[in-house]
Structure 1
Amino acid sequence: MNKPFKIPESVLVVIYSPALDVLLIERADKPGYWQSVTGSKDALDEPLPQTARREVFEETGIRVVECPPDATLKPTEVALDNLRDWQLSNVYEIYPVWRHRYAPGVTRNVEHVFGLQVPRDIPITLAPREHLNHMWLPYRAAADHCFSPSNAEAILQLPRHVCSY
């Protein structure tokens, strides 16, 4: 059975600690390529916040959950209030190495940027088919370490998007 083509609309989720350390993950299909959590919508009508929550869980094991303010969360959970839509989007050329995942003729993707604040010591469980390693870096160093210019730019904008949590 043929795998369906990817939808050329995705999320980029910058995961960061209160001290503005940023979580980066290394791609399994391109060792040495470090990035934030990214992923395409599963369906055209999938809401972007749902895409962000799903991708964060699939790639890191972190669950973003709806809960009352006084709820006790599991060590791998964070409250939905910690996920913020930065109201930024990037349109970029899909790298040729990954174009086969999209329908013929699709060369551009629209990426929507989110931020997710988590405790620095939250357990990370990578999807081994997708990522090899993870690391935390101060946000400027994390931006320098990203292979994607749009990811680096999003990370550099982190301080202006951090609001009172």
Structure 2
Amino acid sequence: MTPYKIPESVLVVIHTADLQVLLIERADKPGFWQSVTGSLDAADEPLLTTATRELFEETGIVADGENIVLRDWHLSNIYTIYPVWRHRYAPGVTENTEHVFSVEVPRDIAITLSPREHLNHVWLPHLEAADKCFSSSNAEAILQLPKKFAGPKK
């Protein structure tokens, strides 16, 4: 395993059929709310594998491909890595490529946070969730849910 994080990651927006969105609060930056995110463990790790792993590690949700199915949006964002986290990457790396996924879950699904990574979780209507996210790419993905999601609208 490389000593530095790979500057390629996934974003997994977790939502219910009525577009309630799960946000989790970062342990290393209290007050910073987000969807599930995480970097590839290896340069050749498939994105779906990364998304499945991160979803489970950060929330305890198992995407089994039948009842809980991750959707690859085939959308990538390139963003500047926040200076506070740049030390995790190789010298000179300033940008990350983030691949967007979503997953619909039942509202009563059990959430088990990784205490090393997250302090709290909250379910919010998608517009409120977008407003609460510190990451603009995360907020934009949440705002796109009504267009991407083929289920019932509020």
What TM-score, normalized by structure 2, do the two folds share?
A: 0.95
* Residues 106-131 of structure 1: per-residue CA shift (max 9 Å, x gap): 00000000010000110000000000
Unaligned runs of 5+ in 2: none
Corresponding residue of 2:75: 88
Equivalent residues in 2 for 1:124-143 (5 A)?
124-143=111-130
Aligned partner letter, 1:35: Q
Unaligned runs of 5+ in 1: 68-77
- The CA distance in 1 between the partners of 2:10 and 2:65, in whole Å, is 20
- The CA distance in 2 between the partners of 1:33 and 1:27, in whole Å, is 6
- The CA distance in 2 between the partners of 1:31 and 1:133, in whole Å, is 9
Rate the CA distance shift 1:4–1:13 in 2: closer, same or farther, 3 A.
same
* Residues 109-155 of structure 1: per-residue CA shift (max 9 Å, x gap): 00000010000110000000000000000000000000011100010
Aligned partner letter, 1:102: Y
Q: Secondary structure at the match of 2:49?
A: helix
Shift of 1:163: 2.4
Provide the identity percentage: 70
Runs (4 or more) in structure 1 with deviation over 6 Å come to none
- The CA distance in 1 between the partners of 2:151 and 2:134, in whole Å, is 30
CA RMSD of aligned residues (A): 1.5
Q: Are 2:17 and 2:151, in contact at CA under 8 Å, matched by a contact in 1?
A: no
Shift of 1:65: 1.1
* Residues 14-46 of structure 1: per-residue CA shift (max 9 Å, x gap): 000001000000000000000000000000010
Shift of 1:83: 1.0
Count residues with an aligned counterpart.
152
